């Protein structure tokens, strides 16, 4: 894949996931506290079943393309942007598996107001990291303009 195509391909999952995380953060997760204990576990399980096939392939694609981007970066400013984006992606993945996944595991088993609050609060880290990744992706796209 040539550099220009790689930069465009890299932007696609990053921008998709950035939009999705903002929806989840501002709309979806806060509504968990409105469900009531009797509905929360079933809702959480449905959430996980529906969102995983949507998010996981995009996250894996983003990871692969970000790694490829770093490996193929021509150097200088472009390489610095690619490395910065990779660092932000490391934050996204660490946050996902160290903070959000454990909260989801609790909520799949029982209604837990503290886990809902923890999920909403800690997810801001992913939201911020993905937002900054979107800035990186757009900046790399702009570097490709004539």
Determine which helix (DSSP H) or strand (DSSP E) holds 96, and give its type and residue range. none
Identify the CA nearest to 69 among candidates 87, 55, 54, 92: 87
Query: Tens of pLDDT along 93-133?
Result: 999 999 999 999 999 999 999 999 999 999 999 999 999 99
Q: Would you list the DSSP string of 68-123?
A: HHHHH--SHHHHHHHHHHHHHHHHHHHHIIIIIHHHHHHHHHS--HHHHHHHHHHH
Query: Tens of pLDDT along 5-55?
Result: 999 999 999 999 999 999 999 999 999 999 989 999 999 999 999 999 999
Interhelix angle 3-23/37-72, nearest 10 degrees: 160
């Amino acid at each position: 894949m040539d550099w220009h195509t790689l930069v465009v391909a890299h932007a696609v999952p990053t921008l998709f996931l950035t939009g999705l995380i903002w929806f989840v953060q501002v709309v979806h997760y806060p509504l968990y506290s409105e469900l009531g204990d009797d509905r929360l576990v079933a809702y959480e399980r449905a959430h996980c079943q529906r969102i995983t096939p949507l998010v996981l392939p995009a996250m894996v694609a983003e990871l692969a393309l970000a790694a490829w981007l770093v490996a193929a970066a021509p150097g200088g400013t472009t390489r610095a942007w690619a490395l910065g984006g990779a660092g932000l992606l490391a934050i996204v993945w660490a946050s996902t598996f160290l903070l959000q996944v454990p909260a989801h595991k609790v909520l799949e088993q029982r209604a837990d107001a503290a886990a809902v609050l923890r999920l909403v609060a800690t997810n801001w880290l992913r939201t911020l990291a993905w937002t900054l990744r979107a800035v990186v992706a757009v900046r790399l796209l702009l570097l490709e303009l004539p």
